[in-house]
Amino acid sequence: MDFQLTEEHLMIQKAARDFAVNELLPGVIERDEKQQYPAEQIKKLGELGFLGMMVDPKYGGAGLDTVSYVLAMEEISKIDASTSVCMSVNNSLVCWGLETFGTEEQKQKYLVPLAKGEITGAFLLSEPEAGSDATSQRTKAEDKGDHYLVNGTKNWITNGSSASVYLLIAQTYPEKGSKGINALIVEKNSPGITVGAKENKMGIRGSDTHSIMFQDVKVPKENRIGEDGFGFKFAMKTLAGGRIGIASQALGIASGAYELAVKYARERKAFGKEISQHQAIQFKLADMATRIEASRLLCLKAAREKDLHQDYTLSGSMAKVFSSETAMWVTTEAVQVHGGYGYVKEYHVERLMRDAKITQIYEGTSEVQRIVIGRSILS
Ligand code: CAA
Ligand code: FAD
């Protein structure tokens, strides 16, 4: 597989890096402490085309490939994973889902403003009692002829309060299991929707994670995505690409921590020499670099397969489980390389370590990725 980056890829990578350093780095510690949503920064990301990167320009997107998206996600995540999760949800769950399976009317009405970054979207699958076991959800979308009547609660929703548009996965025919589920486009300001309090999280504290309650919410029939009962497949197909986004987020968190560790190891002296000259520290850096490179190749492979319209479900899950476990390991070691300084906020690595953990949980836990990989091997 050809991993040669083009001039255009390098330009996008640089634009994302410049944005991260100039726009995200200055307030990142404060936003983390105050759990502040990066509203201004997300608006600017949208203006630069980073919220609809892979969407066709005729729908307001940047028309770029998935490799560009991986490169941009890595650069943004090196500095601010709270911002990159908003970017990932909007690009690879909401925009991709709408562009791939939406009707022309749905695309004109919802995809265009989402891809231009004028508004953002959220993806509502998880529930208080249905996370990994996504088919066992209880939120109901009753068929009432010209509309669906939605009742239930969705949990842990990224962009829950900031989004204007929700892609909701809900049960219409409980007796049909995964084939009785529908995907609906729901406007956040619809009567009957209540946004719960913001979750007080370990990491990605700037991102807005909320429960969303639905009480007798009417959703017009024309807002259903795909055929009746397509909702679970819609969710699974969309998440297959979303996992490339989160894998790239994990890659960025790991490479951000690694770069800080290398810089610090060259500056800090102990026992008369730079700590980078102690072999124990050198070996840590060597292992970090090796695991990060393997993560990057897995992310690029999955992205390339998606761009070539090949099946990327397996490689996406491999990229996600490997990169997220790499992120957790690398960030923990980066704190170790920093010694006591790694344990305080000014040095950034403690935040990256807290941010890394979520990549092993959302968009399918590491265990779920292994289920997907295992089934693929044995099928
Ligand atoms: N593409 C297309 N169809 C798929 C598919 C895929 N990738 N994966 C499964 N399906 C289909 C199956 O073929 C099956 O259809 P048929 O009956 O027609 O064959 C149907 O879906 C049911 O599949 P399974 O029997 O495999 O379902 P399961 O109950 O065993 O669950 C699972 C499989 C992989 C564990 C799945 O439930 C899963 O992915 N769970 C994790 C949920 C998740 O990732 N949530 C993320 C929420 S979003 C989020 O987290 C965003 C964020 O943080 C920012
Ligand atoms: P459970 O499914 O209850 O899992 C608990 C543990 O059991 C895990 O370790 C899991 O891997 C393990 N486990 C479960 N089943 C198996 C099995 N069959 N084999 C082996 N181990 C198993 N969801 C959305 O829909 N949209 C969002 O935007 C979104 N954003 C999120 C943001 C944050 C910050 C968080 C924390 C979550 C978010 N989620 C979102 C939800 C996330 O996708 C779920 O938390 C995740 O899928 C796991 O579900 P759960 O929390 O119910 O854990």
Distance 217 CA to ligand 1 centre (A): 26
Contact 304, 2 (CB under 8 A): yes
Sign for the pseudo-dihedral over CA of 126, 131, 133, 136: negative
- Planar angle of CA 325, 329, 331, nearest 5 degrees: 115
ipTM score for this prediction: 0.98
81 CB under 6 A from ligand 1?
A: no
pLDDT for position 334: 98
pLDDT for position 315: 98
Residue with CA nearest ligand 2 atom 2:
132
d(CA 340, CA 331): 14
Counting every residue written for the chain, the total comes to 379
pLDDT for position 121: 98
d(CA 67, CA 156): 28
126 CB under 6 A from ligand 1?
A: yes
pLDDT for position 127: 98
Atom of ligand 1 nearest to the CA of 135: 29
In the structure encoding, which two tokens stand for residue 155, read together? 């949990």
Atom of ligand 2 nearest to the CA of 128: 52
Residue 149 backbone phi and psi in degrees, to 5: -110, 115
* Segments of the chain with pLDDT less than 50: none
Distance 89 CA to ligand 1 centre (A): 17
pLDDT for position 354: 98
| Sequence-ordered alpha helix ranges (H) in 63-158 | 66-79, 81-88, 96-101, 104-106, 112-115
Residue with CA nearest ligand 2 atom 51:
131
In the structure encoding, which two tokens stand for residue 223, read together? 């807002």
Helix or strand (DSSP H, E) at 267: helix 231-267
pLDDT for position 3: 84
d(CA 379, CA 305): 20
In three-state secondary structure terms, 315 is helix
d(CA 190, CA 208): 20
pLDDT for position 1: 80
In tens, the pLDDT along 303-341 reads 999 999 999 999 999 999 999 999 999 999 999 999 999
Residue 130: DSSP 8-state = B
In three-state secondary structure terms, 36 is coil
CA distances from 114 to 99, 100, 272 (A): 11, 14, 56
Q: Mutation test of ligand 2: which of 205, 361, 370 has the most ligand atoms closer than 8 Å to its C-beta? A: 361
314 CB under 6 A from ligand 1?
A: no
d(CA 220, CA 45): 31
d(CA 379, CA 375): 6
Active site residues: 363
In tens, the pLDDT along 342-375 reads 999 999 999 999 999 999 999 999 999 999 999 9
Distance 350 CA to ligand 2 centre (A): 23
pLDDT for position 314: 98
